Chains A and B, each alone.
Chain A
Amino acid sequence: MYTTELSKTAKIQNLEDPKLLEAFEARVAADEFIEPKDWMPEAYRRTLTRQISQHAHSEIVGMLPEGNWITRAPSLRRKAILLAKVQDEAGHGLYLYCAAETLGTSREEMIEALHSGKAKYSTIFNYPTLTWADIGAIGWLVDGAAIMNQVPLQRTSYGPYARAMVRVCKEESFHQRQGYEIMIAMANGTPEQKRMAQDALNRWWWPSLMMFGPPDEDSPNTAQSMRWRIKRETNDELRQKFVDITVPQADFLGLKVPDAALEWNEEKGGYDFGVVDWEEFYSVVRGKALSRRNAWRPAARPGKTAPGSATLPLRMKRSAARGRPREP
Chain B
Amino acid sequence: MASLPPIDLPTGATGKGSFDAPSAGAPDPVRFDYLLRLGDDSLILGQRLSEWCGHGPVLEVDLSLANLSLDLIGQATHLLEEAGDGDKLAFHRDVLDFRNCWLVEQPNGDFARTMARHFLFSTWQHMLFDRLTRSSDRFLVEFASKAVKEVAYHRELSAEWVIRLGDGTEESARRMAEGLDWNWRFVPELFEVDETLQALIDRGIAPDPREFEDEYRSAIAAVLAEAKLEVPADQRPILGGRRGHHSEHLGHLLAVVQFLPRTYPDATW
Contacts and interface: CB of A to CB of B under 8 A. Distances in A.
Nearest to A93: B59
A311 B171 contact: yes
A316 B264 contact: no
Contact of B73 (A80, A297, A318, A328): A80
16 contacts: A63-B62, A67-B54, A71-B51, A74-B91, A74-B260, A77-B77, A90-B63, A186-B269, A297-B55, A311-B112, A312-B111, A313-B168, A321-B164, A322-B159, A322-B226, A328-B63
B6 interface: no
A75 B57 contact: no
Given A70-B53, A75-B269, A322 B58 contact: no
B226 A321 contact: yes
Nearest 4 interchain pairs by C-beta: A308-B111, A313-B168, A67-B54, A328-B63
A18 interface: no
B53 A86 contact: yes
Given A94-B60, A307-B110, A72 B66 contact: no
Contacts of A308: 57, 110-112, 114, 175
B140 interface: no
B50 interface: yes
A interface secondary structure, majority: helix
Nearest to B62: A90
A311 B259 contact: no
Interface string B55-76: 1011111111011011001101
Interface in A181-230: 182, 185-186, 189-190, 192-193
A151 interface: no
A132 interface: yes
B50 A321 contact: no
A80 B191 CA distance: 30
A167 B37 CA distance: 39
B238 to A, nearest CB: 25
Interface residues of B, number: 57
Given A80-B74, A87-B66, A312-B58, A132 B256 contact: no
Interface string A113-129: 00000000000000000
B70 A312 contact: no
B181 interface: no
A67 B64 CA distance: 15
Given A75-B91, A90-B62, A193 B264 contact: yes
B126 to A, nearest CB: 14
A91 interface: yes
B192 to A, nearest CB: 27
B interface secondary structure, majority: helix
B59 A94 contact: yes
A83 B57 contact: no
What range describes how many residues of A lie at the interface? Answer: 35 or more
B200 interface: no
A67 B65 CA distance: 13
Contacts of A309: 57-58, 111
A192 B59 CA distance: 37
A76 B259 CA distance: 13
A63 B175 CA distance: 27
Given A67-B55, A313-B168, 11 more contacts: A71-B51, A73-B260, A75-B269, A76-B76, A87-B63, A90-B62, A93-B59, A193-B267, A307-B111, A314-B58, A321-B226
Contacts of A163: none
A70 to B, nearest CB: 5
Interface string B251-263: 0000011011100
A296 to B, nearest CB: 9
Contacts of B53: 63, 67, 70, 83, 86-87
B257 A325 contact: no
B157 interface: yes
A311 B172 contact: yes
Contacts of B74: 80
Given A83-B73, A328-B67, A90 B59 contact: yes
